[in-house]
Amino acid sequence: MSDPLYRKELLRLAADAHGAGRLTGPHVTGHAHNPACGDKVTVDLELADGRVAQIAHLTKACVLAQASASILGRELKGKTRFDVEQLRESVAVMLAHGAAPPVASYAVFDGTIDYPNRHRCVLLPIEAVLAAFAMAKDA
Per residue, the 3-state secondary structure of the chain, as one string, reads CCCHHHCHHHHHHHHHCCCECCCCCCCEEEEEEECCCCEEEEEEEEEECCEEEEEEEEEECCHHHHHHHHHHHHHCCCCEHHHHHHHHHHHHHHHHHCCCCCCHHHHHHHHHCCCHHHHHHHHHHHHHHHHHHHHCCCC
Question: What's the CATH number where 66 sits?
Answer: 3.90.1010.10
Give, in degrees to the nearest 5, the angle at Cα 94 between 61 and 8. 50
Among 37, 31, 35, which Cα is nearest to 135's?
31
d(CA 45, CA 29): 6
Q: What is the pTM of this model?
A: 0.94
Residue type, 122: V
pLDDT of residue 139: 53
Percent of the chain with pLDDT over 90: 82
Domain that holds residue 104: 4-135
Mean pLDDT of 48-53: 96
HSE (CB half, 13 Å, CA atoms) of 2? 0
The most confident of 1-10, 64-73, 99-108, by mean pLDDT: 64-73
pLDDT of residue 5: 75
Number of domains, the chain: 1
| Averaged pLDDT score across all residues of the chain | 93
